[in-house]
Amino acid sequence: MDIETTPTGDLETWTVEEVAKAFRAGEIVLIDVRTIQEYAFEHIRGELLLPLPFLEPERLPSQDGKRIVFHCGSGVRSEKVARMALAAGITPVAHMQGGFAAWKQANEAYMGTDIATGNSVRVPGKDG
């Protein structure tokens, strides 16, 4: 995990491995800030969707129970959202480095779309 100290709080950047481990253990809430269309095509099972255009950082839940970790397609939008959350006084804040592309590259499981049928299918990762 990398930590950048900003004027509004610490911005944490987590690796895919750190996010996957914490997500499987139920220690974090993973929030996808990509578009509805991107999410519908493929996403991480069990994550929440909160597209960037709909985000109101001041309405995010407190971090008392589970840490919130944002992700997007490449890490650019999730970093922007994390900075917005910090500016709104939400701390601590984290985002996933490399986004969903890095998640897939690390061979983690996700939900995809069967192009032939349009149905949602589980794409198994390295853990089966």
Torsion sign over Cα 78, 123, 29, 2? negative
Q: What are the residue boundaries of the structural domains of the chain, listed by start?
A: 2-123
Could you give the CA distance from residue 21 to residue 126 in angstroms, rounded to a whole number?
13
Evaluate whether 109 touches 45 at the Cβ level (below 8 Å): yes
Question: Is the whole-model pTM more than 0.85?
Answer: yes
Per residue of the chain (128 residues), give pLDDT as tens: 999 999 999 999 999 999 999 999 999 999 999 999 999 999 999 999 999 999 998 888 766 778 899 999 999 999 999 999 999 988 888 999 999 999 999 999 999 999 999 999 999 998 76
**Out of 3.40.50.150, 3.40.250.10, 3.30.465.10, 3.40.50.300, which CATH number does the structure's domain 2-123 have?**
3.40.250.10
